[in-house]
Structure 1
Amino acid sequence: MAKKMTISDHSSSQPSAHTQPVPKYKSNEKQTEELPDGGLQAWATVAGGFMLYVAGLGYFNAYGVYQDFYVRQFMTRYSPAEIAWIGSCQIAIQFVLGLPVGKLFDAGYFHHLMIVGSIIYCFSLWALSLAKPNQYYLIFLTQGVGMGIGLGLTFLPALAVTAHHFSRRRGLAMGIMTSGASIGGIIFPIMLNNLLFRHGFAIGVRATAALITALMLLANLLIRPRYRKNQPASKASLRIIINDLPYMIFVAAGVFIMLGIFYPIFYLQLYAIKQGIREKIAFDTITLINAGGVLGRVIPNFLADRVGSFNVIIPVIFLAAGCVLAMLAVALGSGGIIAVSLLYGIMNAGFVSISPALLAELSTDRSEIGIRMGLWFSFTAAAAMAGQPLSGALILGNFRWSTVFAGVCLCVGGSLSILSRLFFLRRRLRDGGAAL
């Protein structure tokens, strides 16, 4: 009886990429065998990426403090939905830059992206500190547009370069690196709640800008790319990628998830205040979300390396939806707010940290990881921008319809992720691989 062909058998039997074109669904196992899966340079890159995520997404994870401060004190002429456009624009620009940034990263321009992005991000934050009350245009341009561009040029290269250093422990390495976003989300809400409300806008923003500038500098010194020697420019075809059904279904899932995933980050502090929760506990909600995120960025990724990314990310999405919908509870008091904050933080961070590893797993060659991640973020950008202003418009005083909207969007995204997994397994089994 013929020996059953495994994925590694299949990939090793293929001719060299230098002698014939790469097949449509060539396994990437041969690529990952070349990776050191550790070492000083790899873990220094993880440490640098951790610092970048503290300064970047960690600061964005504190936007709920800005939303509350703007609504109640600093921009009282504007509605919650109008103010939410600032944070939504920041995250949307970050995502929409994914495709060009991914292509530039695959072409070898890692350091160019990191240096330029860091300068734009830090300059925009310092410029934000010059804004006066109700200067919407200046705050929108600096915090929404400028910081969004800076994030967009840096966060994806940091993710993709980590995938170049690791294979078996890729999920764990990405989880440790992206946990910086949760650590930043613990530090910055505490700083901002104490500084903005007590000492004023300029002092609060400048204090955080000084810390972020130092972290960005260290990150640029530590992170090192690992391109293959004499690696040709990526020949990944957009037509082939767009026709990749498991990948494109997960893109569709990402669109729905992005409509709802940031809802508690934007509105939970304001929701708690409106529900009559003590201000001290309400101010801690964003910190608690990010405290849960520390676990959510490491444990699910550790499990994903062992049981498969899809098998972890799908339950995480549905549990995140359950946490959002729990806000509908009539008697959700201080204890309930604390529980929702912590549990949601774990699930939100689990999704954010596993999805890049899953996108790398869906890639058929290491040279296309950047463009696959970039295309996914570009497609989801519009949803990331529109989601929170839509939720803000649906608040209507009691948060009921905005909560239902966010929860249902997450459920739809989870259902599409199940469908993506089914098609991915069908292709994997057809190619002779084991099911995950």
Structure 2
Amino acid sequence: MAPKIRPSSSDEKQLSTDAVVDTQQEIDQGPPDGGLVAWMTIAGGWLIYFCGLGFSNAYGAFQDFYVRKFFTNKTPSEIAWIGSFEIALQFFLGIPVGIAFDAGYFHHLMIGGSLVYCFSLFMVSLAQPGQYYQIFLAQGVGMGLGLAMTFLPVLTVVAHHFSRRRGFAIGIMTSGASIGGIVFPIMLNKLIFGPQGFATGVRATAAVITGLLVIANLLMRTRPPVLKEGDPRLMRTPVSVLLKDVPYMTCVVSGVLLTLGIFYPIFYLQLFSIKHGIDQNLAFYIVSFINAGGFFGRLVPNFLADKVGSYNVLIPASFACAALVLAILGVRDAAGAIVVALLYGAMNGAHISVTPALLSDISSDVSEVGIRMGLYFSFIAAAALFGQPISGALLTDKFIWWRGTVFSGACLIAGAVVLMWSRYLFLRRKGGGQLQWI
């Protein structure tokens, strides 16, 4: 029997070096557009969106409960500040979170954000009726901070695993928000308006979310390039450079205008339906109908975006959102409310899921995707914060519905027009070529 020959230490070192080189070459060739690790990460991201934005999309149930039961001494505008601050905070911290992601702190952000989010949701269940500050701190500040630490990194990590099919992958992942937006409003309406009551209902929801976020964190992986000292990709794109990028900043302005109006049906359509005599048992499902439409709106448009360009999908979807918001004024019965909810959900879902793909597409390198997304979401944070309180103030405690509806519709139309201008500027920068790319 021939003796086994053990490689020398120099041979072992060479084999190790060759393996590193092969791995580095594989990474430098770009994202694999698939594979077990990539799809496990998408599955983990799906759960993050299910528990994060999916729960945020159920805020209409909280708005209705707070207005009619929990904070009867507060106006709709004051109550809307809770949900608006939660949404705004996740966007406002976009720059530091984006920089931390680009620096390699993906798992730190995800684990920390999940812990903060779950703890805050349990704290919501301890709030007492009429104690506005308790809900604001737990749901507005605490849960908003948890969302801020998880929302952007999950979007950005897709660029580590997908390139050609990035839009479709983002669509699949963000569809978790739609499914969560279907499940949680039904769950919350049945629990907090039912015999279980507010505290038990919120705690039950928090327990489910905690378990799912543990699974999500176990599934996700990053795939950043291993760069040597002096590699130009190590040079972080300064924020000052992006602020001078006119096509990109025009896109940001568009995002601000769109965000002022995009959340109006999610906040107010359930309350609108109840105030217009639609059966309460059916009206409880209105937010779920919005998110049911959003499930398809996050898949089909993203698939099309990979084929015809992100701008070419996002612009029509934005105009459609505006038309459907204005159509709320014509709703008089349950059938009308359901149709508007489903169609709006589809177009809103397209807007939310295609925007990250667009920001990835217009980034010159994967190393700047985080900062571009972070800057974009930081700017739209103010719009997310003030949009629905403004709508609530226009609504007043007399529920003058046309004021808030027209305001939101006008903002969406203006945002869509500015988005068209942003597309034109990018095309001009590229010399008018590659029309399908954007």
Q: CA deviation at 1:362?
A: 1.2
Alignment of 1:126 with 2:159, yes or no, is: no
- Post-superposition Cα deviations, 1:350-405, rounded to whole Å, max 9, x if no partner, equal 10000000001111111000000000000010010000000001113231100000
Runs of 4+ in structure 1 displaced over 3 angstroms?
A: 231-234, 430-436
Map of 1:51-62 to 2, 5 A cutoff? 51-62=47-58
| Alignment-derived partner of residue 207 in structure 1 | 204
Alignment of 1:256 with 2:264, yes or no, is: no
Alignment of 1:160 with 2:156, yes or no, is: yes
Alignment of 1:229 with 2:226, yes or no, is: yes
- Post-superposition Cα deviations, 1:145-181, rounded to whole Å, max 9, x if no partner, equal 0000000000100000012110110000000000000
Q: Structure 1 432/71 Cα, relative in aligned 2: closer, same or farther at 3 Å? A: closer
- Mapped to 2, the partners of 1:234 and 1:74 lie a distance apart of 51
Q: CA deviation at 1:234?
A: 4.5
Q: CA deviation at 1:335?
A: 1.0
- Partner residue of 2:408 out of 406, 409, 430: 406
Instruction: Give TM-score, length-normalised by structure 1.
Output: 0.91
**Residue identity opposite 1:274 in structure 2:** K
**Residue identity opposite 1:383 in structure 2:** A
State the SS of the aligned residue for 2:298: helix
**Residue identity opposite 2:412 in structure 1:** L
- Mapped to 2, the partners of 1:299 and 1:57 lie a distance apart of 19
- Mapped to 1, the partners of 2:431 and 2:360 lie a distance apart of 19
Identity %: 59
Map of 1:345-384 to 2, 5 A cutoff? 345-384=345-384
- Mapped to 2, the partners of 1:312 and 1:130 lie a distance apart of 43
State the SS of the aligned residue for 1:133: coil
Q: CA deviation at 1:267?
A: 0.4
- Partner residue of 2:142 out of 142, 146, 163: 146
- Post-superposition Cα deviations, 1:303-343, rounded to whole Å, max 9, x if no partner, equal 000000000000000001111000111x5311110000000
Q: Structure 1 41/125 Cα, relative in aligned 2: closer, same or farther at 3 Å? A: same
**Residue identity opposite 1:372 in structure 2:** R
8 Å contact from structure 2 (residues 122, 206) kept in 1:
yes
Q: CA deviation at 1:241?
A: 1.2
Q: CA deviation at 1:428?
A: 1.8
8 Å contact from structure 2 (residues 394, 400) kept in 1:
no
| Alignment-derived partner of residue 217 in structure 1 | 214
- Post-superposition Cα deviations, 1:214-242, rounded to whole Å, max 9, x if no partner, equal 11111110010110012664421222211
8 Å contact from structure 1 (residues 171, 305) kept in 2:
yes
- Partner residue of 2:74 out of 78, 87, 93: 78
State the SS of the aligned residue for 1:125: helix
- Post-superposition Cα deviations, 1:183-225, rounded to whole Å, max 9, x if no partner, equal 0000000100000001211011001101100111111100101
Alignment of 1:338 with 2:335, yes or no, is: no
Q: Structure 1 116/278 Cα, relative in aligned 2: closer, same or farther at 3 Å? A: same
Alignment of 1:44 with 2:45, yes or no, is: no
**Residue identity opposite 1:245 in structure 2:** V
- Partner residue of 2:424 out of 395, 408, 422: 422
**Residue identity opposite 1:350 in structure 2:** A
Map of 1:238-277 to 2, 5 A cutoff? 238-277=239-278
8 Å contact from structure 2 (residues 31, 159) kept in 1:
no
Instruction: Give TM-score, length-normalised by structure 2.
Output: 0.90
Q: CA deviation at 1:33?
A: 5.0
- Post-superposition Cα deviations, 1:279-298, rounded to whole Å, max 9, x if no partner, equal 12211110000000100000
| Alignment-derived partner of residue 17 in structure 2 | none
Answer with 33-42 or 167-176: which moved more: 33-42
Q: Structure 1 32/254 Cα, relative in aligned 2: closer, same or farther at 3 Å? A: farther
**Residue identity opposite 1:211 in structure 2:** V
| Alignment-derived partner of residue 20 in structure 2 | none
Q: CA deviation at 1:431?
A: 7.9
Q: Structure 1 427/271 Cα, relative in aligned 2: closer, same or farther at 3 Å? A: same
- Mapped to 2, the partners of 1:434 and 1:356 lie a distance apart of 17
State the SS of the aligned residue for 1:320: helix
8 Å contact from structure 1 (residues 32, 166) kept in 2:
no
Q: CA deviation at 1:430?
A: 6.3
Q: Which runs of 5+ in 2 are unaligned?
A: 1-26
Q: Structure 1 431/240 Cα, relative in aligned 2: closer, same or farther at 3 Å? A: farther
Q: Structure 1 324/430 Cα, relative in aligned 2: closer, same or farther at 3 Å? A: closer
Give the aligned length. 406
Q: CA deviation at 1:432?
A: 7.7
**Residue identity opposite 1:227 in structure 2:** P
- Mapped to 2, the partners of 1:128 and 1:337 lie a distance apart of 30
Q: Structure 1 435/302 Cα, relative in aligned 2: closer, same or farther at 3 Å? A: closer
| Alignment-derived partner of residue 13 in structure 2 | none
Map of 1:170-189 to 2, 5 A cutoff? 170-189=166-185
State the SS of the aligned residue for 2:277: coil
8 Å contact from structure 2 (residues 81, 389) kept in 1:
yes
- Mapped to 2, the partners of 1:101 and 1:404 lie a distance apart of 34
